[in-house]
C-alpha cells in the first residue's frame, strides 16, 4: 500500500439536503434550543448519522403505536407528511403538532384527495411502506393501489380508466416508462408527474459531476429511497462509484495514488457528513 495517496477530493455542491429536509431539521433544532426534548414521528430524515446527532440534542423518535399512548405533548411531523388519521389522533390526544410536511408533498396529498373525492381509481408509483406513500394512501381511505414495480399490476384487475400519481422522490424516467407501458396495455391513463424537481434535477447534475472523477463516493443512509435512485445514476455514468453511509465503510483499496475523487449524496445526506468523508480521504 502506498504511504501517501495524495488524493484530490471535491464535494458536489448540488448534493445534500433538499429544502423540505432543511425546513424540518431547522424546526426541530429551533425547538430543541429552548426545550429539553421533542417527539418526532418516525426518523426525521433517512440518515442514521444525522438522526443520532439530533437525538443527542433531545429529539425522541417514536412510531405510530407510541403516538397512540402520548397525550398533551409536542410532536414533529417530518417532511414525508402524514395521513389524515394522524391529525385526528392528535386532536383526540391533545397533542400539539409541529408540522414540517414538505410543501411539495402537501400539494400532492391535496391533489390525490381531490381525485379520490371525484371517485377516480388511483394508482401510486411508490415504495411499499414508505412514510410518504402511507400518507398519500391515507388521502384515499386506503383505496389507492400502490406499486413499486409494474409487474405487480400484471394480475390486478384495473378499470379501463384511472389516475396515476408518483411518490415525489421516484425516477422521472421510470415514471414515464410506466405511464407509456400502461397506455400500451390499452388503459386510459390520466398521468400526473408529481416528482419533486429538486430531486429529479439532481440526476442531470450528478451525470455531469461523476464524469469528472476517477472514483466517486456516494454518501447516503441505507433507508433512503432517493439515495438508491441517485446512486444508480452515479454507477451508470461512472462505474467506479461506491455507496457508503459513514467513514467506517470506506475501503482504502478502492483508490490509487493521485486519484481525483468526487463526493456526492442524497437529499437526506448532511453536508457535515460529506465533509467528514473528505477529511478522511485527505488523511490517506
Sheet hosting strand 241-244, strand order edge to edge: 8-11, 260-265, 215-219, 241-244
Per-position DSSP letters for 198-233, written without gaps between them:
HHHHHHHHHHHHHTT-SEEEEE--TT-HHHHHHHHH
CA-to-CA dists, residue 219 to 91, 231, 248, 275, angstroms: 39, 9, 12, 11
Separation CA 63–CA 41 (nearest Å): 6
Judge whether 49 counts as a catalytic residue. no
H helix intervals, 57-196: 64-68, 84-92, 103-117, 131-138, 172-184
Which residues 6+ apart lie within 8 Å of 258 measured at CB?
5, 6, 7, 8
* Antiparallel, parallel or unpaired: β 188-191 and 161-166: parallel
- Among the listed residues 132, 152, 157, 177, the single catalytic one is 132
Where do we find the cell 411508490?
A: 126
Residues identified as active-site: 132
Amino acid at each position: 500500500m502506498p504511504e501517501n495517496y495524495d488524493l484530490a477530493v471535491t464535494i458536489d455542491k448540488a448534493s445534500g439536503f433538499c429544502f423540505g429536509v432543511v425546513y424540518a431539521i431547522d424546526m426541530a433544532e429551533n425547538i430543541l434550543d429552548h426545550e429539553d426534548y421533542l417527539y418526532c414521528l418516525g426518523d426525521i430524515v433517512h440518515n442514521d448519522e444525522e438522526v443520532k446527532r439530533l437525538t443527542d440534542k433531545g429529539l425522541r423518535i417514536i412510531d405510530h403505536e407510541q403516538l397512540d399512548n402520548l397525550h398533551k405533548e409536542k410532536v414533529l411531523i417530518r417532511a414525508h407528511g402524514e395521513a389524515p388519521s394522524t391529525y385526528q389522533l392528535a386532536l383526540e390526544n391533545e397533542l400539539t403538532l409541529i408540522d414540517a410536511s414538505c410543501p411539495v408533498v402537501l400539494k400532492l396529498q391535496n391533489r390525490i384527495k381531490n381525485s379520490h373525492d371525484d371517485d377516480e381509481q388511483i394508482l401510486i408509483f411508490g415504495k411499499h411502506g414508505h412514510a410518504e406513500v402511507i400518507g398519500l394512501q391515507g388521502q384515499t381511505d386506503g383505496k389507492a393501489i400502490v406499486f413499486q414495480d409494474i409487474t405487480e399490476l400484471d394480475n390486478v384487475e384495473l378499470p379501463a380508466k384511472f389516475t396515476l400519481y408518483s411518490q415525489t422522490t421516484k425516477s422521472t424516467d421510470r415514471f414515464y416508462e410506466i405511464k407509456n407501458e400502461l397506455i400500451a396495455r390499452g388503459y386510459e391513463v390520466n398521468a400526473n408527474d408529481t416528482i419533486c424537481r429538486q430531486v429529479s434535477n439532481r440526476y442531470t447534475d450528478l451525470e455531469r459531476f461523476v464524469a469528472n472523477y476517477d472514483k466517486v463516493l456516494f454518501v447516503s443512509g441505507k433507508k433512503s429511497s432517493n439515495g438508491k435512485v441517485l446512486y444508480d445514476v452515479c454507477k451508470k455514468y461512472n462505474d467506479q462509484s461506491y455507496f457508503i453511509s459513514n467513514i467506517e465503510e470506506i475501503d482504502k483499496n478502492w483508490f490509487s495514488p493521485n486519484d481525483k475523487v468526487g463526493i456526492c449524496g442524497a437529499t437526506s445526506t448532511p453536508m457535515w457528513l460529506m465533509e467528514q468523508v473528505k477529511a478522511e480521504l485527505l488523511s490517506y
